[in-house]
């Protein structure tokens, strides 16, 4: 392989700077919003997800992931889940999935278990140069020492057309709402801003900032500021 020219090297460096600047600007907007609205109950967290996805044929694939969440200003682990399932590509723009998730979450110094089967439908389309997708998820939550309940989640993702460097670094934003069927109300919202990248042929990475607002008892909202990283190995 030949050496990179100065022009090519400068172009690659400039692309990396643009991606870093994009994440910095988005994070700054959310941080300023956090200060302006006095989210004094906000907590800084780290969420890490590692997964494997295996393509069985042109239509079917299976996958499994493990996620860890660190809270209290990233000082202790309080949540973990294992999720596995099947995905069916009906068309390029329509996917269906069936998954099962086992969750352990620390509440009041005790670990609580939740088993959560869920069904997913994802629609993908293009709008001008933007790649859009909408994932609808229906969950049945079997919770320890609590009543079972249904929950609906809807996540809209917008990927921008830019792909920087040979690692195909691509920025995106997303919003996800959570609807509690029992309470018939939206009780959680997540806003994302991040970068996806194809590090190697069989490795995808997603680095993001997430702002989550959850509605607890007596109409009190709790806010989290999350730095997240997802890594998925593809076969």
Q: Which residue has the higher pLDDT, 33 or 171?
A: 171
Give me the pLDDT at residue 108, please.
85
H/E stretch holding 170 reads: strand 170-180
DSSP 34: H
pLDDT tens digit sequence for 5-22: 555 444 444 554 455 455
SS3 201: coil
CB burial string 105-119: b at 16+ within 10 A, e below: beeeeeeeebebebe
CB 41, CB 223: distance < 8 Å = yes
Q: Right CATH number for 6-234 from 1.50.10.10, 2.60.40.650, 2.40.160.40, 3.30.1360.120?
A: 2.40.160.40
Q: Is the pLDDT of residue 126 over 70?
A: yes
Q: Within 13 A of 136's CA, how many CA atoms are on the CB side? A: 5
Q: What does the domain layout of the chain look like in residue ranges?
A: 6-234
> How far, in Å, CA of 181 to CA of 161, rounded?
36
pLDDT at 206 over 80: yes
Least confident of 1-15, 50-64, 136-150: 1-15
- Quote the CA–CA distance of 138 and 115 in Å, as a whole number: 14
pLDDT of residue 58: 95
Tokens linked to 165? 């460097």
């Amino acid at each position: 392989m030949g050496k990179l020219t100065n022009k090519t090297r400068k172009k690659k460096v400039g692309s990396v700077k643009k991606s870093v600047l994009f994440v910095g600007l988005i994070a700054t907007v959310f941080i300023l919003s956090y200060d302006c609205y006095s989210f004094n109950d906000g907590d800084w967290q780290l969420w890490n997800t590692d997964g494997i996805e295996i393509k069985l044929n042109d239509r079917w694939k299976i996958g499994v992931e493990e996620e860890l969440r660190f809270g209290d200003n990233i000082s202790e682990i309080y949540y973990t889940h294992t999720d596995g399932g099947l995905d069916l590509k009906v068309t390029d723009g329509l996917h269906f999935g069936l998954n099962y998730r086992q969750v352990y979450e620390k509440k009041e110094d005790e670990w609580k278990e939740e088993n959560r089967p869920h069904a997913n439908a994802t629609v993908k389309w293009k709008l001008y140069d933007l790649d859009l997708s909408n994932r609808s998820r229906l969950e049945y939550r079997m919770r320890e020492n609590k009543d079972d309940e249904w929950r609906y989640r809807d996540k809209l993702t917008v990927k921008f057309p830019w792909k920087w460097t040979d690692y195909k670094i691509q920025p995106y934003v997303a919003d996800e709402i959570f609807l509690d069927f029992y309470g018939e109300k939206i009780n959680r919202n997540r806003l994302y801003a991040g970068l996806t990248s194809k590090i190697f042929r069989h490795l995808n990475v997603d680095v993001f900032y997430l702002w989550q607002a959850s509605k607890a008892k007596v109409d009190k909202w709790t806010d989290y500021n999350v730095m997240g990283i997802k890594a998925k190995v593809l076969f």
